[in-house]
Amino acid sequence: MIDIIFNNLFLAIALLIMLIYLLLGVISLVELLEYKRGHRHADFNAMLSSPLSPGITVIAPAYNESKTIIENIKGLSSIHYNNYEIVVVNDGSRDDTLEKIIKEFSLEKVEEELYSTIPTQPVRGVYKSKNKAYSFLTVVDKKNGGKADALNAGINVSRNPYFVGIDVDSVIVPDALLKLAKPFLSYTTKRVVATGGVIRVANSCKIENGQVMQVNVPDKFWARFQIIEYLRSFLMGRMAWSKLNGLLIVSGALGMFDKEVVVQCGGYNSNTVGEDMELIVRMRRYLYEQGIKHRVVYVPDPLCWTEVPDNLKSLQRQRNRWTRGNMDTLLIHRKLFLNPRYGRLGMLGYPFWFFFEWMAPLLEGLGYIFMIYLIIVSAINLHVFLFLLAFVYLFSVSFSFYAVLFDEFTFHRYHRFEHLRRLFLIPFLEPLIYHPLNVYFAIRGNISFFRGNRQWGSMDRKGFDDKSEPKTT
C-alpha cells in the first residue's frame, strides 16, 4: 500500500515541478525577447548627459584584497555614468589594502562629520583623492564587521538617492549603471525598489584594465557546470520571477537599491550570511506592510562578470553558505509563508523559494536513500525505474540546452564555435555529476545550520568570498 502511494506521489511531485519550471521558462522567453527588441534602439547615452538622471553611489566593500584592489577600482572608474561616486569600504583588512589605495590614488583624510543613519562598527577615517581625475572616489576605513556592515557604512557616507552594492572583485561592464538605473526611471505606477543584473562567469576570460576583453568558456569543468547553472537560473528563472514580481533575491555581486527604503528598513543585516537576500525580503515585507506598490526588477543584460569557485572545496563552502543564508532568511521571515497580506511575495515567491530551494534538495536526498533501499530489498520495478530515470534525465538536459539557446537568442556572449563545442557536453554530464553534488552540499548546509553555525564559518569568518586562491588579472 505504502509503495503505491509513494510511487504515484513522487511521480506527481516530479511532474508538477517540471511543469512549473517549464512555465517559468516560457515566461522568461517572452520577457527576454521583449526586452531585447524594445531596447535595440534605446538611447542609453541620453541618460549620460541628462540632468534628470539620478545620482548613484557605488559601494564596494573590500577585505584583504591587496593584490587586486587597484585594478578593481580602476575598472570601476571606467563606468559610464555622469552622476556617480564610488565608495570603497575597507572593512578592517589585515593586509596593506588601505595603504595601497592611499598611495595609488593619492588620498588624504578628510575631516567630515559622519551622520550614521544605520549603526555600524566604528569608522576610523574617510579619505578622498587629491588627484582631480579621481574626485569621485571616497574611501572609508572602518573596523572589521563583515560585508553587510561594510555596505551599511557605505550607505551612511553616500549622498545619492540610489546606491549599487557590488563585490569589489567582480568585473562591472561600463554601461551597467545605465542599464540598472533604467527600470527605476521607467515605472510610475509601482515604485521600483531594487534592480539586479545578470551575473556571468569570468573564469578564463581575458580581463584587462578591469574589463572583460574576451569571453572564454572556463578550462575547469567545475566552472563550466556553473556557466550552465547561472544561465539557467538568471535567464530562465529570475527573468520570469521579475515579470511575476516575486523576486526574493538580487545578487550581492551587483544590485541597485533605493536608498530611502533601505535606510527605513535599517540597512543590511550583519547577523546573517545571506544578507543580499535578507535585505530584499525585508524591504518587500516592509513595503507590503506600508501598503506601497512596488517592484523588484531583473535586467537580463550581462552586467557583471565574476570569478566562480573552480574546485570542489571552495564550491562546497560557497554552497554551504548559500544554503545557510537561504534558510536564515526564510526562517526570519516565516510569517510570509502563504500569507495573502504579502501579495505575490507571500503567495508565490516565498513558497517557491521554500519548496524549490530549501525543501527540494532534502526531498531529493530522501528520494536517493529510499531508492537505494528499494533496490536493496529489490522492491523496485526495474522497467518503471529506468523509464522515469531516462525521462527526468532528458528533461534536465533539454532544459539546460534551452538556457544556452536563450543566451544565443539574446546576448550571445558565447559566440565562437569553440565555446559551443565546450559547452555542449556539459548539459549531459550535469545531472549525473554536478547536480547530485549540489544536493549533497545543500544537505550538508542544512546540517551545519541546525548545528548552530549561523556565521560565515570559522575559516572564512568576516571574509567576503570563498576564493582561496589569489586571482591573476
Partner 1 sequence: MKILICGENPLQLKMMKNELEQEGDEVRLSWSGIDLMAHVIKFMPDVLITEVLLPQINGFEFIDNVRKHFPKISIMVLSSLRSEHLIDFVFRLGANDFVFKPFDPETLRGRILKLQESKNSLLTLNYMDYVTSV
Partner 2 sequence: MLRRYKAILLFLASLFLLVLLSLFVKQWLLQDTWWLEGYQWIDWMHDIGHFYMNFLSTETGKHFLLGFLFPLLYTSMILTVFNIGFIAFFILFRRWRSINNYVYFSRMREKTEDVLLEYLYGDKDAAMVKLRSLNRRILVKEMVGLRKQIIGSKADQLRSLFYELHLDDFIIRKIKYSRWFNKIMYIDAAQWMLVTRAEDVIEPYQYVTNVYIRNVAQVACISLSPDSAFSFLNVLEYPLPVWHQIILYKSMVLSSVPIPDFYAYLRSDNTTVVLFALNMIRLFSQRGDEEKIIALVSHEDPIVRRNALKVICDLKIYQAMETVKQYFQKETIRNQVNMVHVLSLDKTEETLDFYKTIWIETKPNVRMEILKHIEPALRKKLQDTMPSERGFNETISNIHA
Residues 132-151 binding partner 1 (CB under 8 A) are 132-133, 135
Which of 207-215, 238-246, 325-333, 429-437 is the region at the interface with partner 1 (rule: CB under 8 A)? 207-215
Judged by CB under 8 A, which of 36, 39, 74, 128 binds partner 1? 74
The answer to whether 80 contacts partner 1 (rule: CB under 8 A) is: yes
Residue 334 contact, options partner 2, partner 1, none, Cβ 5-8 Å cut-off depending on partner type: none
What are the C-alpha distances in Å from 128 to residues 86, 112, 133? 10, 11, 12
Quick one: 32 or 173, whose CB is closer to partner 1? Answer: 173
Judged by CB under 8 A, which of 109, 124, 130, 143 binds partner 1? 130
Q: How many residues bind partner 1 (CB under 8 A)?
A: 21
* Helix 434-450 and helix 221-231, axial crossing angle in degrees, nearest 10: 80
Residue 333 DSSP label:
T
Residue 4 contact, options partner 1, partner 2, none, Cβ 5-8 Å cut-off depending on partner type: partner 2
The answer to whether 206 contacts partner 1 (rule: CB under 8 A) is: no
Judged by CB under 8 A, which of 8, 116, 117, 131 binds partner 1? 131
Closest separation in Å from C-beta 438 to partner 2: 22
CA gap 225, 204 in Å, rounded = 14
Strands 294-306 and 206-208: unpaired
Which of 46-54, 229-237, 241-249, 319-327 is the region at the interface with partner 1 (rule: CB under 8 A)? 46-54
Q: Supply 203's cell numbers.
A: 573564469
**Cβ contacts of residue 471 below 8 Å, gap of 6+?**
67, 68, 169, 307
Closest separation in Å from C-beta 248 to partner 2: 20
What is the torsional sign of CA 42, 47, 52, 58? positive
Closest separation in Å from C-beta 133 to partner 1: 5
Closest separation in Å from C-beta 45 to partner 1: 6
Give the distance, in angstroms, between the CA of residue 108 and the centroid of all CA atoms in the same chain. Answer: 34
CA gap 275, 252 in Å, rounded = 8
Residue 174 contact, options partner 2, partner 1, none, Cβ 5-8 Å cut-off depending on partner type: partner 1
CA gap 272, 151 in Å, rounded = 14
Residue 211 contact, options partner 1, partner 2, none, Cβ 5-8 Å cut-off depending on partner type: partner 1
CA gap 176, 330 in Å, rounded = 30
Give per-residue burial for 40-51: e unless 16+ CB within 10 Å, then b: eeeeeeebeeee
Interacting residue ranges for partner 1, rule: CB under 8 A: 45, 48-51, 74, 77-78, 80, 82-83, 106, 130-133, 135, 174, 209, 211, 213
